[in-house]
Amino acid sequence: MQADEVLEKGDFACPYNSALLPKLVLCLSQLPHNIAPCSMLPKKGGYAYPAINVTSLPTINGALRAFSESKSDGIIQVSTGGGEFASGTSVKDAAFGAIILAEACHLLAEKYNVLIALHTDHCHPEKVDSFLKPLLEASRKRIAEGKGPLFQSHMFDGSVVDLKENLAISKGLLKECAELGIILEVEAGCVGGEEDGHDTSGLPIEKLYTTPKDMVEVYEALQPIGRFLFAATFGNVHGSYKPGAVKLKPSILRDGQKAVMDKHGAAAEMDLVFHGGSGTSESDLRETLDYGVVKMNIDTDTQYAFTRPIVTHMCQNIEGVLKIDGEVGEKKSYDPRSYLKKAEISLCERMKIACNDLRSTGQTIFGKF
């Protein structure tokens, strides 16, 4: 793509400066809102986008504040569990809750001078019809109304089935996504640990590592259809672990990319996603950026960052938040706003660390196209 070429989608056209931003990674949704229209970044030795899971307005606001203060574009994402939570304990509809959170993001992002992409996290085969399909239909309706898609990318996690079945489902979903200008993230190999009730902690260790053969097969199956991101696994484990407890092998990404490029050329280098990164050393994290990682999920660490100041607030104001020995407590202490503001700010500070770790701080392309 040349520097004077233009990317077109729907009702907008976005100039692409190949000298400044050498590789298109995500071509996302609409102007004039700050849900990113075209989000691009360098591949090798560059930076990656932090992708934070949100469940509520305070978590969305904390993420947006962090990206804005870091001058970093970023990704806000919703899991099936997060969507179900957002819909309320009575409704318990993951897709409906995800739509609510996404619409809130579309409105709130307009207040910030950074670009935000919306994504959905792990969707396993049994939830495609109840979660992913309704969200694609919601995007289809928005596009028919002259708007961009609701989400700019979705993840299908077929790692629970064999690769042949995984890719068969992925190909069908990618075709549907591509028709809507949406990117599909896929996974081959399993991320260990537990997330959103899905537990893979008992898997054999070899299942945690994607092979070069797998990476070639994924590329050859999906590349002709549309834009995709690939969550290749290299020992990743969901959850919180002490440094050194998880044995990451970033070289797996290097070797897999080499196998793909040896067969299909340098342009075949894939855009990779890093899951299960809590406790990762800075050297391992930065090494993955050299091998094509463009997105890293942040969930466990921000959950802790959000919860920690709430616990402190409760401990420091125990006689105010509880009605003890016939007393009435203190309204300003148990008002949820008093501790949720602290939680939002703490989450924000943790996300700013993630932006620094992934070298996205100061890299926003807002206003540069």
d(CA 79, CA 217): 27
- pLDDT at 124 > cutoff 80: yes
Section 59-72 average pLDDT: 98
Identify the pLDDT of residue 71: 97
Active site residue 121: yes
pLDDT more than 70, % of the chain: 80
pLDDT tens string 136-155: 999 999 999 999 999 999 99
| Sequence-distant (≥ 6) Cβ neighbours of residue 354 within 8 angstroms | 50, 52, 66, 296, 298, 301
Identify the pLDDT of residue 294: 94
Burial of 202 (0-12, 13-18, 19+ CB in 10 A): exposed
Confidence band (pLDDT; 50, 70, 90) for 31?
very low
Identify the pLDDT of residue 235: 79
- pLDDT at 14 > cutoff 50: no
Range of 3-12, 17-26, 155-164, 207-216 with top mean pLDDT: 155-164
Section 183-200 average pLDDT: 67
- pLDDT at 243 > cutoff 60: no
Interhelix angle for 282-290 vs 336-357, to 10°?
60
Identify the weakest region by mean pLDDT among 66-75, 232-241, 298-307.
232-241
Q: Which residue has the higher pLDDT, 242 or 119?
A: 119
Identify the pLDDT of residue 78: 98
Identify the pLDDT of residue 204: 53
Q: Hey, what CATH topology would domain 27-300 get?
A: TIM Barrel (3.20.20)
- pLDDT at 30 > cutoff 60: no
pLDDT more than 90, % of the chain: 71
Contact criterion met (CB below 8 Å) for 356 and 289: no
- pLDDT at 196 > cutoff 80: no
Identify the pLDDT of residue 279: 74
Confidence band (pLDDT; 50, 70, 90) for 10?
very low
Identify the pLDDT of residue 189: 72
**Residue in 121, 157, 196, 284 annotated catalytic:** 121
Interhelix angle for 57-70 vs 336-357, to 10°?
40
Indicate the average pLDDT of the chain: 84
Burial of 315 (0-12, 13-18, 19+ CB in 10 A): exposed
Local structure of residue 298 (DSSP, 8 states): E
**Closest by Cα among 78, 242, 347 to 355:** 347
Section 41-57 average pLDDT: 81
d(CA 296, CA 292): 11
Identify the pLDDT of residue 324: 94
- pLDDT at 43 > cutoff 80: no
Interhelix angle for 212-222 vs 251-264, to 10°?
50
Domain boundaries, the chain: 27-300
- pLDDT at 79 > cutoff 70: yes
- pLDDT at 40 > cutoff 50: no
Identify the weakest region by mean pLDDT among 58-67, 122-131, 208-217, 341-350.
208-217
Phi and psi (nearest 5°) for 296? -130, 130
Give strand ranges (E) for 121-240: 153-156, 183-188, 194-195, 198-199, 228-232
d(CA 29, CA 9): 8
Section 148-176 average pLDDT: 95
- pLDDT at 197 > cutoff 80: no
- pLDDT at 1 > cutoff 70: no
What pTM does this model have? 0.86
Q: Which two tokens stand for residue 127?
A: 């939830």
